[in-house]
């Protein structure tokens, strides 16, 4: 049993508060929250009941996810916040992506002795992989712009949750189990997540009193406590001298992130991406996220194709081929726009998409990886191919939440610490894991002789796949959604949109439908449910090579049904099922 000062687990029966119910769909009025976790949804709903905005609810829910979903998100990471303002009708985006230290170079993940790139596992579990966290400053900036409550007020539900504990479910236990070897090598990680030396049992209660105290400190002193105070000093010390167990055999390399990097961190307000699809304005996150540009380009390509539920195989074939083309362009051109020149306007132009669409064969899958196009503004019927494309990985874990309030404001927020469990390193005495976000950089150039936009550099933000999305119909909110899942975030959001807009599904069915994901790889990732179906057989006849990926993504979203009604939707089964709620349920 752990020390009461830090954390621990207790059996539940007869103790504690009543656990919130978990429902994947809710319809009603006055505001809505959808997350992957019932406690987080309850925290967001608490703010709505107090008269809070969508931003207040989003921050409260995100802080709670830092307690109950700490292996996917938390104040040791970063994310992207997309917001619709009902007063102005404007969609705004906040870039809270982590940044590389000022001392970083393009050799960040190159072994000094061998000159070869580090193995991913060695790079991940190290101080080298930790970027300056942006999550907490994102929360403050969002509240400053669109909130009614202080950061301290929005942190209260999560602080109580961390202090009293929450029920361990199978998803939590399995994520700990997947990190046992890593957590065991760091005393602070082991103390918190390996009670009695093993993952906590399902049905027990886990407390994180160190995180509760960290939240209290931030509530009292503001974000300065994190970015320039004692927490900053602890983060820098942890990165520069990772606190490895003396009996561990693991080589854990030190990083160079320092207190000055934390003090200099800034959230950036960026213009959203925008494409028109089926008469909707689809807004997303621009670079350094590749979510908005890749979803947007794929939608533009698919404007050239008639998608119908009457021919599911054709619809899925074109969806997969458009995804591959858009990913080829993503990999070649997208990086941190403050450091590299990203041809974003061209990537999102219909002319460029039409040029790329000429590569679509309605009856045959192209060999993968396909090559990127040339977004040069000179559109021809069929453009010449560029340099050889590079495949992408589906690795990574994240979380997404969606909120709306009584005034019509909407927030779509994706946040992460990268791998499930991040770097694996809990900051001693602080109760949160540090990210391994810098492994989202390419370790070595991947584009042949062409410039690589995603190599490490001082203060640079690594490319992301996070795709928080808001779609407007004639300027009014129609749908907001997002997902975790590494690079498959992009395809999950894209497929869910197509399910809803083209294939005749309502939002709950669009979210629940089996997923397929083409990342410009030789293999198309599909969920287990797809394997062995008639659809799978027909796609293979088209030339698609299918690979069982188990489970893909975990969507949350809100659709606006008219007459003030909102339908909040979360996964019915993936990740153990999500949690949706509304302020005033509609009568059935």
Active site residues: 398
Hey, is 258 helix, strand or coil?
coil
For CA atoms 330, 331, 333, 337, give the dihedral sign: positive
- Rounded-to-integer distance, Cα 318 and Cα 326, Å: 12
**Strands (DSSP E) found in 278-357:** 280-284
- Report the side by side order of strands in the sheet with 523-526: 516-517, 523-526, 545-548
Contacts of 243 (CB under 8 A, 6+ apart): 186, 187, 188, 425, 428
Q: How, if at all, do strands 516-517 and 565-570 pair?
A: unpaired
CA angle 144/421/44 to nearest 5° reads 35
Burial 144-181 (b: 16+ CB within 10 A, else e): eebbebebebbbbbbbbbbbebbbbbebbbebbebbee
User: Quick one: DSSP state of residue 366?
Assistant: P
Q: Which two three-digit tokens encode residue 435?
A: 């990210």
User: Quick one: DSSP state of residue 362?
Assistant: T
- Beta carbons within 10 angstroms of residue 109's beta carbon: 26
- Per the CB < 8 A criterion, the answer to whether 437 and 416 are in contact is yes
Task: Please list the residues that pair with 398 across neighbouring strands.
Answer: 416
Please identify which residue in the block is written with the tokens 């009014």. 476
- Rounded-to-integer distance, Cα 340 and Cα 294, Å: 17
Contacts of 532 (CB under 8 A, 6+ apart): none
- Beta carbons within 10 angstroms of residue 224's beta carbon: 12
Q: Which two three-digit tokens encode residue 36?
A: 């992957």
- Rounded-to-integer distance, Cα 539 and Cα 491, Å: 17
Q: Which two three-digit tokens encode residue 234?
A: 């602890």
Hey, is 106 helix, strand or coil?
coil
- Per the CB < 8 A criterion, the answer to whether 103 and 94 are in contact is no
**Strands (DSSP E) found in 36-88:** 78-85
- Rounded-to-integer distance, Cα 148 and Cα 249, Å: 50
- Beta carbons within 10 angstroms of residue 459's beta carbon: 17
- Rounded-to-integer distance, Cα 44 and Cα 54, Å: 9
């Amino acid at each position: 049993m752990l020390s009461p000062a830090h954390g621990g687990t207790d059996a539940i029966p007869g103790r504690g508060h009543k656990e919130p119910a978990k429902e994947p769909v809710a319809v009603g009025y006055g505001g809505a929250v959808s997350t992957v976790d019932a406690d987080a949804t309850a925290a967001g709903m608490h703010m709505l009941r107090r008269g809070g905005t969508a931003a207040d609810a989003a921050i409260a829910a995100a802080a709670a996810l830092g307690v109950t979903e700490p292996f996917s998100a938390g104040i040791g990471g970063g994310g992207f916040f997309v917001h619709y303002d009902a007063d102005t009708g404007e969609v705004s985006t906040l870039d809270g992506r982590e940044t590389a230290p000022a001392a970083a170079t393009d050799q960040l993940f190159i072994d000094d002795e061998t000159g070869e790139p580090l193995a991913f596992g060695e790079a991940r579990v190290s101080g080298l992989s930790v970027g300056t966290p942006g999550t907490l400053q994102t929360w403050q900036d969002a509240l400053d712009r669109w909130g009614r409550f202080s950061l301290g007020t929005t942190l209260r539900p999560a602080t109580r949750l961390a202090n009293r504990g929450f029920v361990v479910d199978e998803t939590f236990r399995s994520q700990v189990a997947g990190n046992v070897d890593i957590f065991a090598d760091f005393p602070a990680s082991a103390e918190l997540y390996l009670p009695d030396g093993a993952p906590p049992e399902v049905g027990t209660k886990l407390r994180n009193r160190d995180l509760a105290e960290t939240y209290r400190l931030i509530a009292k002193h503001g974000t300065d406590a994190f970015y320039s105070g004692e927490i900053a000093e602890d983060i820098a010390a942890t990165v520069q001298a990772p606190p490895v167990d003396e009996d561990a055999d693991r080589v854990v390399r030190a990083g160079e992130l320092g207190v000055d990097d934390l003090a200099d961190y800034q959230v950036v307000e960026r213009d959203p991406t925008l494409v028109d699809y089926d008469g909707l304005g689809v807004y997303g996150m621009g670079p350094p996220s590749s979510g908005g540009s890749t979803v947007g380009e794929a939608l533009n390509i698919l404007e050239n194709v008639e998608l119908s539920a009457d021919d599911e195989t054709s619809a899925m074939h074109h969806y997969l081929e458009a995804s591959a083309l858009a990913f080829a362009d993503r990999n070649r051109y997208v990086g941190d726009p403050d450091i590299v020149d990203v041809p974003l306007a061209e990537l999102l132009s219909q002319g460029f998409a039409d040029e790329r669409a000429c590569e679509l064969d309605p009856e045959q899958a192209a060999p993968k990886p396909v090559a990127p196009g040339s977004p040069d503004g000179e559109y021809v019927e069929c453009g010449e191919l560029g340099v050889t494309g590079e495949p992408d990985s589906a690795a990574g874990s994240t979380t997404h939440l969606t909120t709306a309030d009584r005034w019509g404001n909407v927030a779509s927020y994706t946040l992460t610490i990268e791998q499930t469990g991040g770097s694996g390193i809990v900051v001693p005495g602080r109760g949160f894991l540090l990210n391994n976000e810098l492994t989202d950089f390419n370790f070595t150039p991947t584009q042949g002789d062409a410039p690589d936009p995603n190599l490490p550099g001082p203060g640079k933000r690594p490319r992301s796949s996070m795709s928080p999305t808001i779609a407007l119909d004639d300027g009014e909110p129609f749908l907001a959604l997002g997902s975790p899942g590494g690079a498959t975030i992009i395809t999950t959001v894209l497929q869910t949109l197509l399910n809803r807009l083209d294939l005749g599904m309502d939002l709950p069915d669009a979210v629940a439908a089996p997923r397929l994901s083409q990342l410009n790889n030789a293999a198309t990732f599909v969920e287990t449910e797809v394997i062995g179906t008639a659809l799978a057989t027909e796609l293979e006849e088209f030339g698609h090579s299918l690979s069982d990926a188990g489970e893909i993504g975990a969507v949350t979203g809100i659709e606006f049904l008219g007459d003030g009604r909102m339908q909040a939707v979360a996964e019915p089964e993936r990740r153990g099922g999500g949690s949706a709620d509304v302020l005033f349920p509609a009568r059935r």
